[in-house]
Structure 1
Amino acid sequence: MKTFFKASAALVVLAACAAAQAQVAGTFSARVGVTRIMPDETSGNLSEPSFPGTKISVGNATQLSGGVNYMLTDNIALDMPLALPFKHKFYGDGAIAGTGQLGQVKVLPATLFVQYRFLEANAAFRPYVGLGVTYARFFKNRTTATLSGLTGGTPSNPTTAKMDNKFALTPQIGFVYNINERWFVNASYYKSFLKTKAHLSTGQSISIKLNPDVVAFDIGYKF
């Protein structure tokens, strides 16, 4: 009889551990890590007056990030990545390639994903696919003397810039690997089909498809 009770207690403990590890409906988790945004841009031409074929390119940015996740069912989750603002530098391209940095801008992308997680809820490794909507907010635009020189600005009246905030569709793939009952590793790749426009104080503007590739790696905890 004692053996029976010991075996029963062991099964209860194992079941509790499995439930803690499982990504079942109602599970909430949070994570922290790093995210790298790599624009795959296609630049339009700066509107007149400008050199024909005046374009821009945008640099990559890496930032401390994280996110929160809630399992609606054993397979469907709502996921929101979180991050500090990313700082992207932009440079002359096309007819003005080689002129150097024209400015920089900070962007705070907010994305809400709906994910489908494959395999069983208690599987240690769970790949997933997601589809989300991103709202990209651009702020703290800074420009350089190079941009002013190209667009007719002066030291006393330098050329400034402002970028339009935009929504974008964002597909995603990734996986979760459970280290133990509570801790896990999350890795994902997604791409935002983001197009925006920069407006200069000179009245000129330039459209650009940023279409960034995004990779994220996190360590998370299930509550």
Structure 2
Amino acid sequence: MRNKTTALLPLSALTAALFSPLALANFSVNVGAINVSPNDDSSYLNVVETVAGLPANSAKVGVNSNTQLGLTFDYALDDHWSVQLIAATPFSHNIRVKGSAVDGLPVGKTKHLPPTLLAQYNFGSANADFRPFVGAGVNYTVFFSEKVAPELVNTLVALEAAQASDDVSLSLKNSVGIALQAGFNYKLSDNWGLHAMIAWADIDTDAKVKVNGTTVQPVDVSIDPTIVMVGLRYSFR
């Protein structure tokens, strides 16, 4: 049987390698404001249209924008190539009906975390003060804390599509999609700089309004947001 000391040796070696001065010199952290602005579209709310007597193909859903604290991590692989992980505090979005006589009717709220991993190509010399970059990668969006708006519940009750005692809920499916990015880093000193980027992510979700656990209105939502971040950059040199 391997003793504990022997088992811990590979882990200790890995930790030492990751946090060695040489490895840290390749790391940079960017902190600032990050905004998610949906370029949203959805399938039609056909069930709502039928129950409410609305024209067919007249009502969709829309999602508002939100700004949070952005935190991104860069690791330089060489003078031009790097990888970046985009993270942020949870985004919060209101979902509303878009179009028809019930335009603006609140549907619900949701929060999401969209961790995104990108490969970046940095232009120019590694010692240049101004370095533009482009990136491409994958986004994974996790939706949570979904809540149905009271206005939607009241509307369903008024249309006799639900009763006041019913459990009305909202669920959104997690999403995986591509992400594209462009931006620049500007060096202010050996360690400090400015970071700015704009990105687009393919975020599609299946949303379901449920009454007592039974789906009464499914809708496919394409959020596909434009993501903008501006902040400070610290490089471990």
Output the TM-score relative to the length of structure 1: 0.84
- Match of 1:221, as an amino acid? Y
Report whether the alignment pairs 1:211 with 2:219: no
Cα separation, 2, equivalents of 1:158 and 1:55:
23
Percentage of identical aligned residues: 29
Q: 1:93 to 1:70 in 2, by over 3 A?
A: same
Matches within 5 A, 1:1-223: 27-48=26-47, 50-51=49-50, 52=56, 53-151=58-156, 152-202=161-211, 203=215, 204-223=217-236
Q: Comparing 68-77 with 46-55, which one deviates more in the overlay?
A: 46-55
Aligned partners of 2:101, 2:221: CA distance in 1, in Å? 16
Is the partner of 1:153 in helix, strand or coil? coil
Equivalent residues of 2:106, 2:151 under 8 A apart: yes
1:126-183 superposed Cα distances (whole Å, 9 cap, x missing partner): 0000001000000000111222234423332242110010101110000000011000
Contact 1:25–1:74 (Cα < 8 Å) also in 2 = no
In 2 relative to 1, CA 97–173 (structure 1 residues): closer, same or farther, beyond 3 Å? farther
Q: SS at the partner of 2:168?
A: coil
Listed as ranges, the gaps of 5+ residues in structure 1 are: 1-23
Q: Secondary structure at the match of 2:202?
A: coil
1:192-222: CA deviations, max 9, x gaps? 1221110111412001111101100120111
Distance 1:125 1:207, change over 3 A: same
Between 1:93-102 and 1:138-147, the stretch displaced more is 93-102
Question: How far did residue 88 of structure 1 move?
Answer: 0.4
Contact 1:66 1:218 in 2 (8 A): no
SS of residue paired to 1:148: helix
Give the Cα–Cα distance (whole angstroms) in 2 for the partners of residues 208 and 108 of structure 1.
17
Cα distance in 2, alignment partners of residues 112 and 59 from structure 1:
24
The separation in 2 between residues aligned to 1:25 and 1:142, in whole angstroms, is 42
Give the number of aligned pairs. Answer: 200
More displaced stretch, 174-183 vs 27-36: 27-36
In 2, distance between residues paired with 1:117 and 1:77? Answer: 8
Taking the aligned partners of 1:210 and 1:89, their CA distance within structure 2 comes to: 12
Q: Any stretches of 5+ residues in structure 2 without a counterpart?
A: 1-22, 51-55
User: What is the RMSD computed on CA atoms of the aligned residues?
Assistant: 1.8
Distance in 2 (CA, whole Å) between partners of 1:109 and 1:212 is 11
